[in-house]
Amino acid sequence: MATTSTTGSTLLQPLSNAVQLPIDQVNFVACQLFALLAAVWFRTYLHPSKTSSFIRHVVATLLGLYLALFCFGWYALHILVQSGVSYAIMVIVGAENMHRYCFVFALGYLIVCQITRVYIFDYGQYSADFSGPVMIITQKITSLAYEIHDGMFRKDEELRPSQRDLAVRRMPSLLEYLSYNCNFMGILAGPLCSYKDYITFIEGRSYHVAQAGADGKEKPHREPPEPSPNGAVVQKLLVCGLCLLVHLTVSDMLPVEYNIDAHFQATASWPTKVVYLYVSLMAARPKYYFAWTLADAINNAAGFGFRGYDRNGEARWDLVSNLRIQQIETSTSFKMFLDNWNIQTALWLKRVCYERATWSPTIQTFILSAIWHGVYPGYYVTFLTGGVMTLAARTMRNNLRHYFITSPQLKLLYDVITWMVTQIAVSYTAVPFVLLSIKPSLMFYSSWYYCPHIIGILVLLLLPAKKTQRAKNTHENMQLSQSKKFDDPESSWGQNSFSTTNNVCAQEPASRHSLLKQ
């Protein structure tokens, strides 16, 4: 295997040669494992009961910057430049317009970094480069800017309940801001978290939550014993190990590129093409499972990610989880798949785009998602296709599902069929995301004669777009509202569209109690 160059440390080059993996990937994994150990130390020796929030902020920030420097060398300066300029914008512009200026600057800076990285240095290479952390920090900068705007400028009655819970009522200090952006738990692979959740964790208030009773109502506030994340961390590390094993042993045996191999296209039967499409895209997912689950375990090991207690009194450590593997692999709808894939990015898209869009929120959300992911043409092909597939899937569900829920047998048949269709549709949609370039992407779609595209468009043209009752109620409320631009988009769009309508949002803490309100 060819060795990839790196702008970061070459200390682990001998290990890279021994395991036959690129040095940048070895650096990334090594730094994440170091972060895991540091997280355990951080929770044990820098517990909020033993030290001040100031010390916890300083240590988390310095460790994060060190990891970035080790992985990316001087390219780590991009993280500081983007964060520093954005903070200056917040201070100078003020709460009324900071969200607009920060959004344009942070996303623009990310685009420039991606263009430089892709078209000047390293086209087509999947390397653990500096653009990954810049993508995460772009989410954090824009999220925080909107949260400050909501908390310091907008009136409470204009805010949704989730926006009211996340609203930041005072300007963060520079240290708090840098700690949020650059902490060692999330600087390399995220995931995104809200500013208030992070500050609550640093200050040691994340465990003081109300517990739901059997009737679903909150019990009176009490001081529960601090839950241990060890069980959740061990479980997630076992998942990481399994995913890494599958990635190293199976993924190379089932390359996605083989879908456009001339001999395969000429000789394979249609069932063979369909099966290989599914298994090759399924084999491409474990590397994402590994990276996101490890990042989740690191946060949990530090004591971050506690979501409260379920009705049985069991601690939940999924506040910053980025995926649910079982739900992904058993998805029976496009929406269900997206709801459980890259969850925190879906929440970001929902909060900064979908909920605030004044026209066609689904289309705007797909466009923003494509821009954020990068500048490879394949990304845009995937997200444009995804828009058609999402709307077609919603229309099909609204028009057909009620015929299949009259008996358990029909419901089972419906679930089996929709699972098969969903997995093939997702795989078909995602191929350009892996192939990156426009020519091989169109070559693949041509080999399928664009059939899923055509079917999706025909569904949208021929079947009526039924509104749910919730959509009708929302439309009526929208007409009566004095603040139309803040109306509830949880309509038929929201019920069945892009992952920004994430089910996770429906679960967004009721466990976000009064202690989260600054």
**Is the CB of residue 357 less than 8 Å from the CB of residue 400?**
no
Residue appearing with tokens 């040669």: 17
Any idea which residue has 């994402």 for tokens? Answer: 288
DSSP 375: S
167 near 102, Cβ under 8 Å? no
Select which of 342, 398, 496, 502 is catalytic.
Answer: 342
What's the CA gap between 404 and 248, in Å, rounded? 41
> Dihedral (C-alpha) 346, 347, 349, 352: value to the nearest 10 degrees?
180
Catalytic annotation, pick one of 322, 373, 453, 496: 373
Query: Is residue 385 within 8 Å of 334, Cβ to Cβ?
Result: no
Question: What are the C-alpha distances in Å from 367 to residues 105, 372, 385, 387, 492?
Answer: 17, 9, 11, 9, 20
Distance CA 263, CA 265 (A): 5
Contacts with 8 (C-beta within 8 Å, 6 or more apart), sequence order? 23, 24, 27, 69, 70, 71, 72, 73, 75
SS3 315: strand
Rounded Cα distance between 105 and 89, Å, is 9
In angstroms, the Cα distances linking 96 to 142, 158, 363, 516 are: 14, 14, 26, 23
Asked about 373 being catalytic, the answer comes back as yes
**CB neighbour list of residue 215: distance below 8 Å, 6 or more residues apart:** none
Cis peptide bond upstream of 191, omega within 30: yes
In degrees and rounded to multiples of 5, residue 174 shows phi and psi of -60, -40
Is residue 342 flagged as an active site residue?
A: yes
Q: Are 450 and 444 in contact (CB under 8 A)?
A: no
Q: Tell me which residues are annotated as active site.
A: 342, 373
